[in-house]
Chain A
């Protein structure tokens, strides 16, 4: 597989999207969404921005399967770390009532 050269117009498009995303996330932060939606909106925008950087600035969209595998493995282990830690904190309050 020969090297894919991402053209500057794509970089400019991604750059503008990232700037718009930053402006949006600042504006959204001052708006009072119902419930926990403020955090959901902020994190969704952050994930979209990070994905754009990874796919285009870091060329992963054009990279081989091995690079994809490494990234997916990282996200998987990150998810495991969060899931196991939270299952601990979440269930801690269950014990005293059980013991009476």
Chain B
């Protein structure tokens, strides 16, 4: 379509196409400077915002293109995590008893608190976006700092949980060579919380499979949180230096999309990993 457009004589029609088409033409203009100037619908106005890139017509178009691009990236993230959710669902269907036993060993209190922490951080992030949209930079800075503190809190609680799994020898395989997967299995009547309580039909090998999936999914999620904290550091630095205003705040908004996406992943991880099978907890 673009090649046709490049050669078509009636290019002025293109001016009436939606913003995204203008974006494509502007890329051609940039790469083929010999093309007649007349078709350029994208020359920035003389009195435009300094943050406006030359290939966008106005700030509005630039912001919308950025948002769309971020969503396309988030789609790849959905497919990436989707593969792991698929693996989880398949093995949960094949080994339900082992998955219930393994899931019930997770700390539901810490998991629920962490869910709350992430939801509050999503709220402070949303408030950061709002405050930057209305040009109240001081509130933006406070909200970004709060978001980062909450994100770090989440990772801290996650580390406490990982440590408990390490102590109970539940790190799968030989991920930690000196401490391979070897949980103590509780006998009937034993209430030791550090031992694995297997319900009927559960097999320790399949419990290990659950922990592979648990560490893969929560580990990838934690990595996204760490990257999110890095992005927030950059955004906070820019906000601190007064880069954002009611006219230009796309970076805050786009980082917010990323942060909320990571929150959504946890919204699904929490019930799937921690909650399903809790009602069978004392049926061992």
Contacts and interface: CB of A to CB of B under 8 A. Distances in A.
Interface of A: 1-3, 5-8, 11-12, 14-15, 18-19, 22, 25-26, 29-33, 38-39, 42-43, 45-46, 49-50, 53-54, 56-59, 63-64, 66-67, 70-71, 73-75, 77-78, 81-82, 85-86, 89
Contacts, number: 129
B80 to A, nearest CB: 11
A55 to B, nearest CB: 11
A contact patch SS: helix
Contact of A81 (B75, B86, B123, B130): B86
Contacts of B119: 15, 18-19, 22
Nearest to A68: B71
A97 B126 CA distance: 56
A31 B123 CA distance: 29
B57 to A, nearest CB: 14
Contacts of A81: 79, 82-83, 86
Q: Give chain B's interface residue range (CB within 8 Å of chain A).
A: 35 or more
Contact of A78 (B60, B67, B82, B271): B82
A29 B263 contact: no
B32 interface: no
B195 interface: no
Nearest to B59: A3
Nearest to A42: B271
14 contacts: A3-B60, A5-B134, A8-B130, A22-B119, A29-B278, A29-B279, A50-B267, A58-B260, A59-B253, A66-B18, A66-B20, A70-B75, A74-B74, A81-B82
